[in-house]
Amino acid sequence: MAAGGGGAFPGAAEVGPWRRFAPAAVAAAPRPGRAAEPRSRSRSFSARPGECSGTVNAGIKSLYLTPSIKPRPNTCIESMPSEMLTKIFSYLDAVSLLSVGCVNKHFYHLANDNGIWLKIYSSCFQPKRTIREMKSEQTETVSLGCTVLRDRKPGYWKKEYIFKQIAAVKTRVMQLVKPVDSYTGVPCKAKEAIKASGLSWIIVLKDKNGKEHVMEKADLSFKDTSVAILWYGTNWPCLDILSTLKLFGLMPLLPDQSRAPRKNGPCRRSFIAEYHLANLTESSVAIGADKLVQLFSLNPGLLLGVWKDKNEIAFVLVSLHYHQLLERSTLGSATVQYDPPPSEPVLDDVDPEYGLHGYNMHLDIHGGSCTYLCETFRSLFCRRGDVANGYLRLTVISFKDNTKHLPLIGTLGLSWETDVFKGNVKDCCVMDVTLLDEIGRPFWCFSAPVCMELSSKASSLFDYMGHIYTIDYADSEGKVCVELVWLEETKEYFIVNLVLYISTKKVNNWYGTNY
């Protein structure tokens, strides 16, 4: 039986090991006495038994005899020797070195190396030290070297460099904001001071799930008494899921005037204001629209542009008054606003009971690149009969005195622009009000978007026969009421009435009185 089986398969000695690994090939061989059937298409690749045996044996040998490939070691920068990393860090500037120190604890200790920071410190401030040799009693001035490195704790020269840089920038900014404009009551070089400090602003949008979306890139537009900050783009989150918008001042730790601020450099946030977006129609005021966008105003000083067809954010515009702008944008924390110090009461010898005498007001009305009015009003006062309903009334322009009526330059409109579209919303503008007390201190200041509306009452002025329009603004400290007349003949608006209403609560806090 064995012999018959062996005679049926030539080369049985060679096939033995092959049958163990390829039983399918053995089963495919024809039985004795039966004609070989034609090979199917699926077996066309099979080889003869002897060839298969050699092929399989070669494959087994190659499987066991081929040396295994060892994985390459992970060449991560963290695995490099500390001496080499310190050498690499020595080529970085101060801002990059501070950023590297935030990677992990190991990098933090290496980035605190006194040798690196002493080199950076010496390049900026050139420290010198006088050493008196006791024996020879000779005095020589030498640069700081190995002695001060051994005497100081790690990170000492890093702190010294940061403190001196902050002090230098603060001194420079204080010199710029010291001169004050006698008309506006704000620093004459507020724009230069903002640029010297490296100050910028960001908005943080928070959705209903708690996720935050940070918008950093913004365009700045400087006016006489305010700065307008515009954010636009195509990566806005959906307006329906947003709950709040927070405005922050962003101050770099090490401002460098020779280059643009770095996006990921070390900086400090100062919380300025928070706006609620969950119920936009309830928390804001619709002040105007054009063919593409609708504008919503939120106190203090925020304008939200929404696409009409998509109900998505088109842009965000914030207008900030210069008064205490640097303090609000730098001295607050990430969660708490800057709290200004209380004012010292001013003794008024003219009328101790009502101290609103000799006030000055500066008014700016503008819309983007156009300025419609820039005027200063002096010697404003308030009498006993002008205090009512919790407000003190200051009349700036009166119906009766037509010599003080002022025209606006051009037709009111607020220009807006994004990366793709631009437009102009009619009858909208930004109003900047600066009210100074009798000694020239800013008493009430704001910058906010407003709108002009057609009044329902008819004109009672004989000198003007056009329609009457109104511009109103109100916050917790006061109100502004403006009335204008449109002259069809000259195609211009005239301000015929302008009244300020100051809250008695604000006056009491300012003077320590009890109105």
Tell me which residue has tokens 């009328």.
Answer: 351
The pLDDT tens digits of the residues spanning 417-455 come to 998 899 999 999 999 999 998 888 999 999 999 999 998
Number of other CB atoms surrounding residue 364 within 10 Å:
22
Residue 382 DSSP code: -
Tokens linked to 302: 């925020």
CA distances 175 to 43, 141, 200, 225, Å, are: 93, 32, 20, 18
Q: Is 406 helix (H, G, I), strand (E, B) or coil?
A: strand
The pLDDT tens digits of the residues spanning 283-323 come to 889 999 999 999 999 999 999 999 988 889 999 999 999 99
The pLDDT tens digits of the residues spanning 207-250 come to 999 999 999 889 999 999 999 999 998 889 999 999 999 999 99
In this predicted structure, the answer to whether residue 22 has a pLDDT above a threshold of 50 is no
Residue 390 sits at φ, ψ, to 5 deg, of 80, 15
Residue 127 DSSP code: -
Distance, CA of 248 to CA of 192 (rounded, Å) = 20
In this predicted structure, the answer to whether residue 389 has a pLDDT above a threshold of 70 is yes
The C-alpha torsion from 376 through 379 and 382 to 383, rounded to 10°, is -150
Report pLDDT for 40: 44
Report residue 405's pLDDT band, with 50, 70 and 90 as the boundaries: very high
The pLDDT tens digits of the residues spanning 63-98 come to 555 555 555 555 677 778 889 999 999 999 888 898
Q: Which helix (H) or strand (E) holds 245?
A: strand 242-252
Report pLDDT for 220: 94
Residue 401 sits at φ, ψ, to 5 deg, of -100, 95
- Going by C-alpha positions, the residue among 342, 340, 376 that lies closest to residue 181 is 376
Report residue 362's pLDDT band, with 50, 70 and 90 as the boundaries: very high
Average pLDDT score, the chain:
81
Q: Is 26 helix (H, G, I), strand (E, B) or coil?
A: helix
Number of other CB atoms surrounding residue 333 within 10 Å:
11
The C-alpha torsion from 376 through 379 and 384 to 389, rounded to 10°, is 10
Report pLDDT for 215: 92
